[in-house]
Amino acid sequence: MAVLRNIDEQLTEEFKKLPIDYWDFEGEDTKELTHGLHNYPAVMVYPIYRNIIDIVKRHGEVETFLDPFMGSGTGLVEGKLAGFNKVYGTDLNPLAVLLSKVKTTVLKEDSVDIQDKLLRENIEQAFVSSKQLLDNIDNYIAEKGLDVSAKDGWGSDAHVILREYLDTYNSGLKIPDFKNMGYWFKPRVILELQLIKDIILQIENEDFRNFFLVCFSETARYVSNTRNGEFKLFRIKKEKVADFNPDVKIEFYKYLDRNIEKIKDFDKRCNNDCEVSVAFEDTRILDSVPDNSIDLMITSPPYGDSKTTVAYGQFSRPSLWWLDLELMDIEELNQVDNNLLGGKKVDKDFECELSSRTLEKAIKEIKEKDLDRARDVYSFYEDLDKAMESITKKMRHNSYQFWVVGNRTVKEVKLLTNEIISELGEKYGLVEVYDIPRNIPNKVMPSRNSPTNETGKTVSTMTNEHIVVLRKDRE
Ligand SMILES: C[S@@+](CC[C@H](N)C(=O)[O-])C[C@H]1O[C@@H](n2cnc3c(N)ncnc32)[C@H](O)[C@@H]1O
């Protein structure tokens, strides 16, 4: 392991020279290679990671890389492409874990073609042998007088109704049983999804099985009754449900075609021995990463608690309900957001005890306006502080941390997370090297959303971002 040097001056020089729009990436294709395999909320576009990595590599040595809020794995893919020895990522959303694994796994072009052909043949066969089952389901539901857009009846009992239907055909097709399944999925859609899923699950090779599950996950989201383009879980209007009849197989093939191109491109571009560790783990713990081992960290943490900012868990539910990932029981899936940073409110009589004067001032102002919101906000920063402590423990002396953070406004009080991070880091031996402001024309997230969860109610939550560069100044 090479000794890391302090390269503050060189980095500062470079950052100063960069044009103001250097970090905008407006109009660029940010979905190349495996970056485009699956949607995810608030993805940080890959050129940010790539450019930071290039700049740091020009001046210093990097062998190990960490993204402790890896999300869909953008940073891990870039770390692997950069050819580091070891790349680590953690996240508490099971969907993030699956996506990060698949996006960083090279599949050989020849094998991809073979597996793809086999999969399609098996799907076609299954659809032919289940033709009657699929063609008659809508009549069966209509004859029973069920309204497929109703919350009660089909909405709540879809599992029981479908089981009875399948029994009339002596079909052994297993169907999932998550809460309000019929509210989110139509009858034929459920049967078709299950047929495809069963075939994918028969694939023995785990890497291929996971790759196809990612295609399936995008499909499940798309063919569900959820509104596209929303991160929170809202259903399409009741009156639109009856006419929404997606062809599950066609949609699946579309995602498959797209993703096969991307995974093949990744194979062409990525031929190195970089080892990737993807862990389902809380950033406040980070047992999966050895102490004093990381040379470079780049991450975009959440902007605040999931409830009032970006609901990663809620976004992932239509996929997670179907994926049977072993990381969590089906009942726990609806709790993902509560486990993320800021997921649990602090007590009503809390005091601001974190070492940041900027935060203290903001909390005081929010508290005067709305104690409840102040509890959410403080809880987020308390968790972020814990995450900074555990991350820094994993980092080496003179290693660099790049925090890409958004400053949001709560109760008309601006939360200067860039300054707060820098102040919180001091007690862990972190020094601020530079603070780069950036516009976010490309950020895949709404700048307005509804903190109250009410459809149509919007407030501005975020306008710009900062890349805060910190160096660990302690052995
Ligand atoms: C802004 S997103 C990261 C996006 C990522 N850079 C990408 O390109 O997809 C923040 C991520 O932090 C994760 N997260 C929030 N709290 C966490 C915690 N306590 N431990 C681990 N991950 C957490 C969320 O699940 C989410 O995936």
Using pLDDT thresholds of 50, 70 and 90, give the confidence band for residue 463: low
d(Cα 155, Cα 132) in Å, to the nearest integer? Answer: 24
Q: Given ligand 1 and candidates 50, 69, 100, which is best to mutate, with the most ligand atoms within 8 Å of its CB?
A: 69
Q: What is the DSSP string of 47-112?
A: HHHHHHHHHHHHHS---EEEETT-TTTHHHHHHHHTT-SEEEEEES-HHHHHHHHHHT----HHHH
Neighbour count for residue 46 (Cβ, 10 Å): 23
Tokens of 339: 């486990």
Q: What is the mean pLDDT of residues 429-437?
A: 96
The answer to whether residue 460 scores a pLDDT higher than 60 is no
Would the CB of 96 count as within 6 Å of ligand 1? yes
Would the CB of 43 count as within 6 Å of ligand 1? yes
Arithmetic mean of pLDDT over the chain: 93
Using pLDDT thresholds of 50, 70 and 90, give the confidence band for residue 369: very high
Model confidence over 35-44: pLDDT tens digits? 999 999 999 9
Cα 465 to ligand 1 centre (Å): 16
Residue 456: per-residue pLDDT: 46
Would the CB of 284 count as within 6 Å of ligand 1? yes
Neighbour count for residue 227 (Cβ, 10 Å): 14
Using pLDDT thresholds of 50, 70 and 90, give the confidence band for residue 230: confident
Using pLDDT thresholds of 50, 70 and 90, give the confidence band for residue 99: very high
- In sequence order, what are the beta bridge partners of 87? 65, 276
d(Cα 424, Cα 235) in Å, to the nearest integer? Answer: 40
The answer to whether residue 445 scores a pLDDT higher than 50 is no
Residue 449: per-residue pLDDT: 47
**For strand 413-414 and strand 448-449, is the pairing parallel, antiparallel, or unpaired?**
unpaired
Model confidence over 170-193: pLDDT tens digits? 999 999 989 999 999 999 999 999
Q: Identify the residue whose C-alpha is closest to ligand 1 atom 26.
A: 71
The answer to whether residue 452 scores a pLDDT higher than 50 is no
Neighbour count for residue 22 (Cβ, 10 Å): 13
d(Cα 86, Cα 98) in Å, to the nearest integer? Answer: 19
Among 209, 206, 251, residue whose Cα is nearest residue 119: 209
One-letter amino acid for residue 32 of the chain: E
Q: Identify the residue whose C-alpha is closest to ligand 1 atom 16.
A: 340
Among 25, 29, 73, residue whose Cα is nearest residue 438: 25
428 vs 307, residue with greater confidence: 428
Residue 461: per-residue pLDDT: 47
Counting from 1 in the atom list of ligand 1, the atom nearest the Cα of 383 is 19
Would the CB of 42 count as within 6 Å of ligand 1? yes
The answer to whether residue 454 scores a pLDDT higher than 70 is no
Model confidence over 116-164: pLDDT tens digits? 999 999 999 999 999 999 999 999 999 999 999 999 999 999 999 999 9
Tokens of 182: 């019929």
d(Cα 291, Cα 475) in Å, to the nearest integer? Answer: 12
d(Cα 417, Cα 368) in Å, to the nearest integer? Answer: 20
List the chain domain ranges.
Answer: 19-106+270-305+340-472, 109-265
Query: May I ask the CATH class of domain 19-106+270-305+340-472?
Result: alpha beta
d(Cα 313, Cα 94) in Å, to the nearest integer? Answer: 9
Contacts of 18 (CB under 8 A, 6+ apart): 436
Model confidence over 356-365: pLDDT tens digits? 999 999 999 9
The answer to whether residue 406 scores a pLDDT higher than 70 is yes
d(Cα 155, Cα 147) in Å, to the nearest integer? Answer: 9
Q: What's the burial of 287, exposed, middle or buried (CB within 10 Å: 0-12/13-18/19+)?
A: exposed
Beta strand ranges found along 311-383 (DSSP E): none
pLDDT > 70: percent of the chain? 95
Q: Identify the residue whose C-alpha is closest to ligand 1 atom 27.
A: 71
Cα 109 to ligand 1 centre (Å): 31
Model confidence over 238-275: pLDDT tens digits? 999 999 999 999 999 999 999 999 999 999 999 889 99
The DSSP call for residue 244 is -
Cα 93 to ligand 1 centre (Å): 8
Instruction: Indicate the Cα dihedral angle 42, 76, 80, 37, nearest 10°.
Output: -50
Contacts of 29 (CB under 8 A, 6+ apart): none
Residue 308: per-residue pLDDT: 86
Which of 92-106, 218-232, 324-338 has the highest mean predicted lDDT (pLDDT)? 92-106
Tokens of 21: 């729009």
The answer to whether residue 112 scores a pLDDT higher than 90 is yes
Q: Given ligand 1 and candidates 39, 100, 312, which is best to mutate, with the most ligand atoms within 8 Å of its CB?
A: 312
CA distances from 111 to 100, 122, 214, 257 (A): 21, 17, 17, 15
Model confidence over 286-298: pLDDT tens digits? 999 999 999 999 9
Residue 453: per-residue pLDDT: 44
Q: What is the mean pLDDT of residues 448-468?
A: 58
Q: What is the mean pLDDT of residues 42-49?
A: 95
Would the CB of 337 count as within 6 Å of ligand 1? no
Cα 414 to ligand 1 centre (Å): 22
The CA R_g of the chain, rounded to the nearest whole Å, is: 24
One-letter amino acid for residue 401 of the chain: Q
pLDDT > 90: percent of the chain? 87
Model confidence over 195-226: pLDDT tens digits? 999 999 999 999 999 999 999 999 999 999 99
Using pLDDT thresholds of 50, 70 and 90, give the confidence band for residue 441: low
